Structure 1
Amino acid sequence: MTLGIDHSEPRRLRRKRTAWFVASGFFTSVFLLFVGGTTYALTAPGYAWGEGELPIEIIMIVVSALFALFAGLRGRRLGDQAADLEDELSPYETLWLPSDPEPVDAEVAAMTPRLRVYSHRAALLCGAWVVALTLGVSGFFLMELLGQRLLDEGARTVGTVVSVHDARRGTSTITVEYVERDDVRLAIVNRDSDRDYTPGQLVTVVYDPADPERVRTLSERNDNGFLTFGSYFLAIVACIGIPCSAVAAQNWRRRHQAVLGSGWHAGRAHISHYFRQVPRISVTYRDGSGIELKGSTSTHAPPAFGEVSDVPVWVGGESRSMVVLLPRGRIRDALHAVPVYADGPRRHLSTDGGAPVTE
């Protein structure tokens, strides 16, 4: 006998809502990236705009802002639709947990406010990703500033392209020979323009007399490879981390509110957790009912891989906002909170193997 109703439609709406919120966060990061870059270019003395660069920057700012706003509003609308549908279904359902409240010990009770701590941690991590994005963008600004300063203040001489390296992956380079104070020097210059070079071609070399290792040409800024990689890495990872952390903070806040309303309920669980697979937790409550749970995308996965049976657990929350408390393991005697969602309604189980009883 089914003790609940099928919440597949609200779950589907909430999944789509989360996807739209992640998209909104991504486009917000892109918006901030281009706003920062354009602001710097407009305020930096001596910055030379490329042909059509400013209109493209403005278009990217406007388009990313519109996409972020549209995705955010779309996600909010889907969330409201899911909540309204849940409200319509709630009079006809039995809760995802047994109705009788259960007393809990101090250790289990202490996990309820800890869920709020997880939300705060995710929010702080989101702030850290914002800082990482700022550092990544600052790296691009720094490379632009150093390259322009060398171009303005460096000594110039005529150099000869000795060899050309066109990389399939990574950075293409040219090797340039030039004379500095009667010394013949070779410099490897990273290419960031779309110019084609041939051995023997003459180029203008700009170098720092105090530091001859700092070399560029009129067309190639010769950015530091480590700084370039670090800037791109921070910017790309931060654009992913910001929306993911923001969603995680919101989800843990919602789980905390759900557990406050439901309390904790004891049961025994069979846990199936394998690499690159969504954890599955089958819980049997003390009243004989059971529920199938799936792990949400989170760093709070079950502490061990494989199949484990008859694990004492505590379950709280409802629908998409549920949490299972598992023993952490032999190394540390503590409870571990795993975010889950219900894969179907709670059911009465038969006494011979746990199959649902049909009527």
Structure 2
Amino acid sequence: YLDAHAHLRDDAGHRQVVRNGSLPQRTILTGIGPVEVQQPRVRDRRRADQRQKFTSAILPPYLRKTKSIEELIPWLYLKGVSTGDFSEALAALLGPDAKGLSANTITRLKAVWQQEYEAWSKRSLVGRHYVYVWADGVHFNIRLEEDRQCILVLMGATADGHKELIALSDGFRESEQSWKALLLDCHARGMTTAPALAVGDGALGFWKALRQVFPTTREQRCWVHKTANVLDKLPKAQQPKAKAMLHDIWQAESRAAAERAFDLFVATYQAKYAKAVDCLIKDREELLVFYDFPALHWAHVRTTNPIESTFATVRLRTTKTKGSGSRSACLTMVFKLMESASKKWRLLNGSPLLAKVIAGVQFADGVEQTNAA
């Protein structure tokens, strides 16, 4: 800073911007522990209307913790360190002299996170085009309430193949009204283009709501949920074989092969285990819709795994801390954990093919169909 202003001199040739001692020493908490620093002070001798105030970009005023420490605090909390254990955990990492980091820090952070969630949930979705969406309702324990909380989750894949969290809301998993409110809110905020395909569990109230808000969106039932539901209606001794037969359906290379595997499952279990078969066949068409989309996308659209894999981390954190204390705290926690997880989300396989899906190009057994001349 002094060198940049070295050319400024008075009539006698004296420099106008000079060093003027140092500011009082202060302690900065860094990733290697507390560090004592002393910042130089600058004096500007020019007229009042010409003077500039020096502010260090490296050492801003009131800085007490480096960026790495600011990021460490929420990371520790979100990864499962309870509020009461914070001081001990930080002392172990940074030494006994770690100051200004306590349970109160987390209390303040949670208030900030709540504001961030509220702002995020009201953000504009104008211009956002989600080609595929995944929906699910995930339950959590709330320490201070008897009933478990269900958080409705909607994720989407953009036209360039990036996965995004679209919406999070408190609601009821099987409630059409809860899902309709979520979808209408997204629509009102600018999500007006209907997704090409939606993926979710058949038990969700999401489907009735989807048909009202985005009637042209096609429906794909999640094979992970369906497999679990079918196996639940079979004796344990039958489950390994049945699971392999179900796997043969959704892993088939063509719809025709999947249909044959489907018929074989029905023929094998219809007589003795009608409930299991009925559970499967009621969604027969919706279970095989993925064959009408690019084969490179099948791994993404046959299940709600984009949501399930992310929530494995969320559940781990809430299990360690025996659940959040309130419904709003749980919702905020889930938002921050998914925000953190989203940094590691990968592009969809075959992302360039999304443009063809948007354009309405037809696919059969995952292969683009071209009209004969």
Q: Which has the higher contact order (CA 8 A, sep 6+)?
A: 1
Please give the range of the TM-score, normalised by the shorter of the 2 chains: under 0.3
> Which is richer in strand?
1
TM-score (norm 1): 0.24
TM-score (norm 2): 0.23
